[in-house]
Amino acid sequence: MSNKILEVRGLSRIHGGGCPLCIQSTGPDCDTNICRHCGSVVAAHDVSFDLYRGEILGIIGESGSGKSSTVKMLYFDDVPSSGEATFFDAEEQHKLFSLNAAQQRSMRNKRFGMVYQNPHLGLNFQISAGGNIAERLLMSDMKHYGEIRRRAGDLLARTEVSRERMDKNPKTFSGGMQQRVQIAKALATQPPLLFLDEVTTGLDLSVQAAILDLILEIQHELGTAMIVVTHDLGVIRLLAGRTLVMKHGRVIESGLTDQILEDPQHAYTQRLVASAL
Amino acid sequence: MPIPKGLWLLHCEKNMSQAILTIENYAKTFHLHERNKQIPSASHVNLTVHPGRLTALVGPTGAGKSSVLKGVYRTYLPSSGRIAFRTKSGNIVDLAQASEHQVLDLRKQEIGFVTQFLHCLPRKSAIDVVAEPLFARGVDTSEARARAEKLLAQLAVPSHLWNVPPSTFSGGEKQRVNLARGLIAQPRLLLLDEPTASLDPVTTERVVAHIQALKETGIGMLAIFHHPDLVKRLADDVVELSPPKAAIETLKELA
C-alpha cells in the first residue's frame, strides 16, 4: 500500500482569456506572470507534487508566486484551468476536480481542513467561537447537541482557547486567538489533510511561535498531512520536511527542506536564502 | 594510518561484503548563480564504513570533510559519485539518487547526524529536544523522556537544566544535548561532525567512552574530529582528504 495521500499533476490556473503565448511569455525566465500578449495572469502553471500521510510539505515563494493559488484550488476555493489532483482516502481514490459540487462540499467539510491568513475567511464572525466549530461538526453529520458542545469545548481547550470564551464572538479575540479558533475548527472533523495558508503572517513573534508549536504537536498527535504555504523561511525550516519553491506561477525547485536551505540549486532560491541569513 | 597498509587492505577485503556505507568518487561542486562561479568543495572521495567501526575523515580546512557528511545525509545534493548504504533489510540504496521520501525515512530509522551546532525548536526543553528522534519513531512519550534523562545524565548535563530550553546553555552543554539527540535513537549509521569541539577534557572523555560503547553495539560511524589525538584513539579506518585542485585556485584567487 502506498503512503500517498495526495497526488497533484499539471495543476494550472490562468485568470483572463488566455492565449497560445501565455505560457511561453510568463514564468521566472520572463520575470512576470502577466502575459504581455493578452494580459492574462498565469497564477500557476504545471504544478505537480506528491504528499504522503502525516507529512508536512512547505510551499515557499513571494506574493504572486502562485503558492496560495495552488492550495486554493485543492480546497475548491478556486477552479483550475487544467490539471488533476487525486486524494487517496483509505481504500478510496477521488479525482478532486471531477467531483460534483455536493461531493466537493462534503470533502471540504469532512476530509480537508483549511486555515487562512485572514481569520475572516475561515471564521463566521456573526456567531460564537464554539458556534463556528459546531457549524462544521453539524455539516459533517454530527447531530447531538451535548456531544457537539463537548467536542467544541475539547477542541478549543486543545488549541489553548479557554472554555470560558467558547460562547464569545471571535470578533473580540486577539489575532493569535482567532488563528487558534480557526485551527480548532479545521481540526473538528479530524481531517487527514490540512491546508495552512500564511497562518502566522502578521502575528507577534511570541504568538507565531506558540502557533507553530501547536501545529507540530497536532502533526505529532494526529499524524495529519499538511501543506504549509508561507513566504517565511523560518516557518519552513521549523515545520516542513520537504519544500517546493515557487516563482511567477511555476515550481522552480523542490527538495528536502534542509537541502533547499543549505544547497539551493536555482538562482532565485539562492538569492532568497542569502537574503534571509 | 593506524594499521599498516597491507593489513588494512586485508581487513577491508574481509569486511567488504558487510560495509554499511560505500562511497565511490563522491564530488560536490556549488554553482553560485549570482557570481556565476563554480565552487568545488569535495572531489574523488572514496571510503567505506563498517558496522561497529569508525571511519575518520581527516584533512586541512577546505578539504571537504563536512561536505562528505552532508552529502551522505543529503543536506547537500551530491554532484557526482555513488553513496551506497546497506539498509537494515539488506538492500543497497544509493543515497545520491534516492527519493526524498526514502531519505526522510532512512533519517528517521537508520541514519543519524550530530552537527557542530544545535538546531532545535527554541522553546522545547532539553529533555524533549533529546527525546525528539524517539517521538518521531512513535516511542511512548514517558519512555522517550526517561531514556533522554538517562543519556543526559551519562553525558554529565546537570539535572537542573533538563527542563530548560537549551538556548541559554553554554557551548559545551549545548554540544552535549546535541550529541545526546544524535545518539538516542541508536541509528545504524552515525555521522559525527566534530562532536567534541567545545567540550572540556573531562566531558570529552565521557563522550569518547560513549562513542566506544556505541561502536561495540555495532553502529557504524563516519566522523570528523578536531583533535588528531581522538582520531588515533577512536578511528578504525582513516581517510585523508585534500582540497579539490580547483578549490585551491579559487582560494588563491580570493586571497
SS (H, E, C) B30-53: EEECCCCEEEEEEEEEEEEECCCC
Q: What is the mean pLDDT of chain B?
A: 88
Which of A152-156, B25-29, B226-230 is predicted most confidently?
Answer: B25-29
Which residues of chain A have a pLDDT value below 50? 1
Residue B173, pLDDT > 50, answer: yes
How many domains are contained in chain A? 2
Q: Return the pLDDT at B15.
A: 46
Domain-ending residue, one of A147, A163, A190: A190
Domain of residue B218 covers 5-110+187-254
> In this structure, are B19 and B138 located in the same domain?
no
- Same domain for B33 and B66, yes or no, is yes
> Helix, strand, coil: what percent of chain A each, to 5?
40, 25, 35
Q: pLDDT (tens digit, 9 = 90+) per residue, B123-154?
A: 889 999 999 999 888 888 999 999 999 999 98
Q: Do B77 and A265 touch (CB under 8 A)?
A: yes
Chain A residue set in contact with B, beta carbons under 8 Å: 3, 52, 55, 209, 213, 216, 220, 238, 241-242, 254-256, 258-259, 262-263, 265-267, 270-271, 274
Selecting from A52, A209, A256 the residue whose C-beta is nearest the C-beta of B74 gives A256
Phi and psi, residue A232, nearest 5°: -100, 115
Give the domain extent around A162.
124-190
What ipTM was reported for this prediction?
0.89
Residues A10 and A59 both lie in one domain: yes
pLDDT for residue B255: 57
Same domain, B146 and B157: yes
Do A268 and A275 form a contact (C-beta atoms < 8 A)?
A: no
Same-domain check for residues A105 and A129: no
| Inter-chain CB proximity B33 and A266 less than 8 Å | yes
**pLDDT digit string, tens, across residues B65-76:** 999 999 999 999
Q: Which of A175, A190, A205 is the last residue of a domain?
A: A190
At A128 the pLDDT is: 95
Buried b (16+ CB within 10 A) or exposed e, A178-203: bbbbbbbbbbbbebbbbbbbbbbeeb
In a domain, A24, yes or no: yes
CA B3 to each of CA B6, B9, B11, B24, B237: distance values in angstroms, whole numbers, following the listed order: 8, 9, 10, 22, 8
Task: Determine contact, residues B26/B71, Cβ cutoff 8 Å.
Answer: yes
CATH number of the domain enclosing A75: 3.40.50.300
Domain count, chain B: 2
- Judge if A75 and A165 occupy the same domain: no
CATH code for position B94: 3.40.50.300
Judge if B74 and B154 occupy the same domain. no
Model confidence at B10: pLDDT above 60: no
Whether residue A263 sits in one domain with residue A203: yes
Return phi, psi of residue B138, to 5°. 85, 15
- The per-residue pLDDT for B13 is 45
Structure confidence at residue A66 (pLDDT): 96
Q: How far does A257 lie from chain B, in Å, by closest CA?
A: 8
**Same domain as A97, residue A24:** yes
Cell of A170: 471571535
* B→A interface, C-beta within 8 Å: 30-34, 70, 74-77, 100-101, 103-104, 121-123, 135
Tens of pLDDT, residues B242-252 = 888 766 666 66
Cα A223 from Cα A201, distance rounded (Å)? 24
Mutate to test the interface with A, among B37, B41, B72, B100 (most CBs of A within 10 A): B100
Higher pLDDT, B186 or A97: A97
Same structural domain for residues B38 and B139? no
Residue B14 has pLDDT above 50, yes or no: no
Instruction: Say how many CB pairs under 8 Å bridge A and B.
Output: 45
A184 within a domain of the structure (yes/no)? yes
A130-184 pLDDT, tens digit per residue, is 999 999 999 888 889 999 999 999 999 888 888 889 999 999 999 999 999 999 9
Q: Residue A119: inside a domain, yes or no? A: no
- Reported in sequence order, the residue ranges of chain A that DSSP labels E, i.e. its strands, are 4-15, 41-52, 56-60, 82-89, 92-95, 112-115, 193-197, 225-230, 242-247, 250-256
Give yes or no: residues B175 and B54 share one domain.
Answer: no
**Stretch B118-127: mean pLDDT, rounded?**
81
- Looking at the structure, tell me whether residues A41 and A92 fall in a common domain: yes
* Final residue in a domain of this structure, among A140, A169, A190: A190
Q: According to the model, what pLDDT value does residue B245 have?
A: 76
pLDDT at B5 over 60: no
Nearest chain B residue (CA) to A212: B121
Residues of B in contact with A277 (CB under 8 A): none
The pLDDT, as a whole number, for residue B246 is 66
Q: Could you give the percent of chain B with pLDDT greater than 90?
A: 61
Within 8 A of A242 by CB-CB distance, chain B residues are 100, 104
How confident is the model over B76-115, as pLDDT tens digits?
999 999 999 999 999 999 999 999 999 999 999 999 999 8
Greatest Cα pair distance in chain B: 56
**What pLDDT score was predicted for residue A277?**
54
pTM of the model: 0.90
Residues A14 and A91 in one domain: yes
- Verify whether the Cβ–Cβ distance A258 to B75 is below 8 Å: yes
* Same domain? A177 vs A137: yes
Are B171 and B198 a contacting pair, CB within 8 Å? Answer: yes
Residue B250 has what pLDDT?
Answer: 63
Residue B120 has pLDDT above 80, yes or no: no
Mean pLDDT within B176-198: 90
pLDDT of residue B252: 64
What's the confidence (pLDDT) of residue B12?
Answer: 46
Q: What pLDDT was estimated at residue B6?
A: 47
